[in-house]
Amino acid sequence: MTDTATPAPGSRAAKPLKILDAARELFLMDGFSATSMDAVAKVAGVSKATVYAHFSSKEELFAAMINAECGRTWPEITSAEIGQMAPIPKLKEVAERYVRFITGGYPVSLLRVVSAEAPRNPALGRIFYDNAPGAGRLKFAELLRHADAGGLLRVPDPLHAADTFFAMLRGDIHIRILVGMPLPSEAELTAHAREVVDRFLKAYRP
């Protein structure tokens, strides 16, 4: 299974990776239909026949790209060092990280293309969901269960509370970014995250 390791630049398996890189860049920027296999080949620095030697169709290349991106290790919104914090700083740190994460260009682009193709390829939507938002909510619900057990919060339905927490953090901002409106300033983002944590604590206070 040496193929799964990152290959050296000159090695054989370097080309499929270059193709996937090019596919990511173009599909995420222009969407599925507006991206041509010619463009992918050009950006990858290979011939179009080589692209087809590794991915039998445009649909398959797109699916492979989405799978690869969803399989990535997403930034650890709820990481190990957070586990050691006290509950309230923990919430604040998660909020801060999540807001930064969802306003990043890359997750926005990924959501855009996945949602655009979802009517024709719901399987990819499911993969995206399970790996990105779905994974985060499960972890965070666990954190809320602990906060409940510790008596800090009263959370009868941790999964729904996790959804509410992240939804509040996305707020209006996420939709605005999705439709191409300008990003709020860093200060506004921080203020937003803090306000949301305060409201969330109040809403789930015992």
Q: Which of 13, 178, 183, 189 binds a second copy (CB under 8 A)?
A: 178
38, interface contact from DNA, a second copy, none, CB < 5-8 Å by kind: DNA
- Map the chain to HEC letters: CHHHCCCCCCCCCHHHHHHHHHHHHHHHHHCCCCCCHHHHHHHHCCCHHHHHHHCCCHHHHHHHHHHHHHHCCCCCCCCHHHHCCCHHHHHHHHHHHHHHHHCCHHHHHHHHHHHHHCCCCHHHHHHHHHHCHHHHHHHHHHHHHHHHHCCCCCCCCHHHHHHHHHHHHHHHHHHHHHCCCCCCCHHHHHHHHHHHHHHHHHHCCC
Residue appearing with tokens 């890189």: 21
* Contact of residue 167 among a second copy, DNA, none (CB under 5-8 Å per partner type): a second copy
| Binding residue (CB under 7 A) for DNA from 21, 25, 37, 178 | 37
**Site map for a second copy, 136-165, x if CB under 8 A?**
-x-------------------x--x--xx-
**CB-wise, 67 or 109, nearer to a second copy?**
109
Nearer to a second copy, 55 or 128 (CB): 128
Residue choice 44, 113, 152, 153 for contact with a second copy (CB under 8 A)? 113
Q: Does 43 bind DNA (CB under 7 A)?
A: no
The whole-angstrom separation of Cα 159 and Cα 162 is 5
Assess 115 for contact with a second copy (CB under 8 A): yes
CA dihedral 195, 197, 203, 206 (to 10 degrees): -140
Q: Please pick, from the candidates 21, 31, 50, 63, the single residue that binds DNA as defined by CB under 7 A.
A: 50
Q: Contact between 176 and a second copy (CB under 8 A)?
A: yes
Query: Token pair for residue 107?
Result: 């997750």
Query: Quick one: what does residue 205 bind among a second copy, DNA, none, with the CB cut-off 5 to 8 Å set by partner type?
Result: a second copy
Q: Which does 56 bind (CB under 5 to 8 A by kind): a second copy, DNA, none?
A: DNA
122 is a site residue for a second copy (CB under 8 A): yes
Please report, as ranges, the residues that interact with DNA according to CB under 7 A.
12, 15-16, 35-39, 45-50, 52-54, 56-59
